[in-house]
Amino acid sequence: MNQTTELHWIDYLIIVIYFCFVLGIGFFLRRFMRTSSDFLASARSIPAWVAGLAFLSANLGAQEVIGMAASGAKYGIATSHFYWLGAIPAMVFVGIFMMPFYYGSKARSVPDYLSLRFDEKTRGFNAITFAVMTVMSSGISMYAMALLIQTLHIFDSPIRALGLPNEWVFHASIIVSAVIVLAYIFLGGLTSAIYNEVIQFFLIVAGFFPLVTLGLINVGGWQGLQQKLQPAYLHAWAGLNSPQNNPLGVEWFSLIMGLGFVLSFGYWCTDFLVIQRAMAANSMASARRVPLIAAVPKMLFPFLVILPGLLALALTHPANAGGPEGEKGASPVAAVTDNSPASLIPAETNPQTGEILKDEKGQPVLNYNLVIPNMLLKYFPSGMLGIGLTALLASFMSGMAGNVTAFNTVWTYDIYQSYIRRKADDRHYLRMAQFATVFGVALSVGVAYFVAAFNNIMDVLQLVFAFVNAPLFATFLLGMFWKRATGHGAFCGLLSGTLAAALHHGLTLSEGAVPGIKGGWITVLHTYPSQMAQNFWTAIYAWVVCLVITIVVSLFTRPRPDEELRGLVYALTEKETSSRGPWYSRPVPLGIGVLILTLLLNIIFW
């Protein structure tokens, strides 16, 4: 299937129309870009529903889409914890409790809030690590897209038609995506990125809904799916009493604390990539509704992005994945040895030799990341295939664009204006922001080639990101809800939390892993049942260390006077009297409604 997939003119036409459309939006918005605030913050003019869908889509890059389906095939319905336990409660929390400070303080970015609340060094640490991470992430996203396009051979024939050798599929993917993303952000700034994210949201639904429907029909409906999979793959919570009883290999405490609390709140409540969308909203009421509006589709997205993984698993290996008498916890795909094109979950191959890669036990390593693309190629005829691929390309590009817009804002306001050139007129900062877009994209391209040349570097980078991100939520929680917390406390807390994460990772390992990038690079003191359990505990330790150190150092340092903290801390901020209007337009009732529905979903798929 992979080798013979030829796109028809209709598929190319759909993709080209989409590219033109994206650029058209950039050109249209160009005339509105007069100040740095227009360019970097959409002049705080975005309606709640638009910012809400962008808030959701900015996180829904293709790596998320592909990764969630891959996890669906690996872990089953338990993958939905990333949404129903992880994302939703955090999104409700940030909307109800944290947006008043982000939006109300007039901070221009998340690091900017840290400088208002704490001090320059805390802002500097957060701004610089964040800027580096966004450029790296955007480069990794670019690399992942180029690699996928190369693996699927979908654009081989246009490259051949141009008379270029096959390696150019990779180069062309990088160049074209970089140029398009650069163009539409350079022209239309954050607004352009937000508009394209909203369009991407609808494209993902348009591309994946029919895919899931066809997959479900093929497998014989929900009942057919249940019959073809082991029971362990069909439950979110049952089996969480012990790591041995569920495919995730974690127990309930580390799942709830590690994923549900530390990691999810850390991401959704402090990552400027998503918060930026809410800060662009047109009023405080809108800003608070943004994450809640995003939570509604987020709740339903497991059916679009995780279900394809389950379907692929049921369709590929019905013989191995059967019945309640099937061996619990064992991988249902262990018996696969073929790399036949008909398989939706093919084995990973060495890119140079084409040989199938095997793990230490001699089993082939499965490339779960090809689940979504292979499903698209299997079920969609030309026409729909164009829509499906456009949705995937759109989410790759908006994944990059989200990082680039977050980067140019943090660079311009939190690094350039704070440390390089403090006083200049706004035109100067607007130009700098546009220039930052150009070198942000250029650096991303550099990262993409760097990652391509040294493949293991990607794992190292993602590990370092995890260390830096793990303690963040403790800092924000104390900053917003404990007025005694000081700048010295926050800075020491962040630093020691990051170090604690690295130390914990260096001292522990997951079962069956080799010391090195997977952990245990100092010495192995403890072995976790799975890598996921190790990750969750790394986050929990980092968070606790950051919390304790921040509190202790704060108590020994001089607090800021209350006057300076107005609007930045819960106790010193006037509560907004409950705004009028129907319940669904008020943050608190909307948040409670979202939580009740999420609870129901958890019970249904228990």
Interface with other proteins (CB under 8 A): 10, 13-14, 17-18, 21, 25, 28-29, 32, 38, 42-43, 45-46, 50, 191, 195, 198-199, 202, 206, 210, 214, 217-218, 378-384, 387
Closest CB to other proteins among residues 331, 382: 382
Residue 239 C-beta: closest distance to other proteins, Å: 33
Q: Which residues pair with 356 in a beta bridge?
A: 349
H/E stretch holding 508: strand 508-510
Written in H, E and C, the secondary structure of 342-357 is: CCCCCECECCCCCCEC
Residue 480: closest CA among 102, 107, 86: 102
DSSP for 427-488, written as a single string = HHHHHHHHHHHHHHHHHHHHHHHHHHHSTTHHHHHHHHHHHHHTTHHHHHHHHHH-TT--HH
- The set of residues, in sequence order, having a beta carbon less than 8 Å from that of 371 and lying 6+ positions away, is 66, 69, 70, 72, 73, 308, 309, 312, 344, 345
Report how far residue 308's alpha carbon sits from residue 291's, in angstroms, rounded to the nearest whole number: 26
Structure tokens belonging to residue 485: 């917390």
Closest CB to other proteins among residues 46, 131: 46
Residue 274 C-beta: closest distance to other proteins, Å: 19
Report how far residue 273's alpha carbon sits from residue 39's, in angstroms, rounded to the nearest whole number: 15
Residue 204 C-beta: closest distance to other proteins, Å: 13
Closest CB to other proteins among residues 210, 567: 210
Structure tokens belonging to residue 251: 């127990």
Residue 291 C-beta: closest distance to other proteins, Å: 19
Task: Give residue for tokens 């529905």.
Answer: 597
Report how far residue 497's alpha carbon sits from residue 551's, in angstroms, rounded to the nearest whole number: 13
Closest CB to other proteins among residues 85, 376: 376
Residue 152 C-beta: closest distance to other proteins, Å: 16
Closest CB to other proteins among residues 122, 390: 390
Residue 192 C-beta: closest distance to other proteins, Å: 10
Report how far residue 284's alpha carbon sits from residue 576's, in angstroms, rounded to the nearest whole number: 10
Structure tokens belonging to residue 231: 């029971």
Strands (E), 189-323: none
Closest CB to other proteins among residues 48, 77: 48
Residue 525 C-beta: closest distance to other proteins, Å: 53
Report how far residue 277's alpha carbon sits from residue 446's, in angstroms, rounded to the nearest whole number: 27
Task: Give residue for tokens 């389950």.
Answer: 310
Report how far residue 484's alpha carbon sits from residue 473's, in angstroms, rounded to the nearest whole number: 17
Residue 237: closest CA among 256, 257, 223: 256
Closest CB to other proteins among residues 29, 306: 29
Report how far residue 512's alpha carbon sits from residue 325's, in angstroms, rounded to the nearest whole number: 26
Closest CB to other proteins among residues 81, 378: 378
Residue 179 C-beta: closest distance to other proteins, Å: 21
Report how far residue 71's alpha carbon sits from residue 79's, in angstroms, rounded to the nearest whole number: 6
Closest CB to other proteins among residues 236, 394: 394
Report how far residue 122's alpha carbon sits from residue 479's, in angstroms, rounded to the nearest whole number: 11
Q: What is the dihedral of CA 424, 425, 428, 432, to 10 degrees?
A: 70
Other residues' Cβ atoms within 10 Å of the Cβ of residue 342: 11
Residue 149 C-beta: closest distance to other proteins, Å: 21
Residue 50 C-beta: closest distance to other proteins, Å: 5
Closest CB to other proteins among residues 51, 127: 51
Closest CB to other proteins among residues 218, 331: 218
Residue 48 C-beta: closest distance to other proteins, Å: 12
Residue 412 C-beta: closest distance to other proteins, Å: 19
Closest CB to other proteins among residues 214, 507: 214
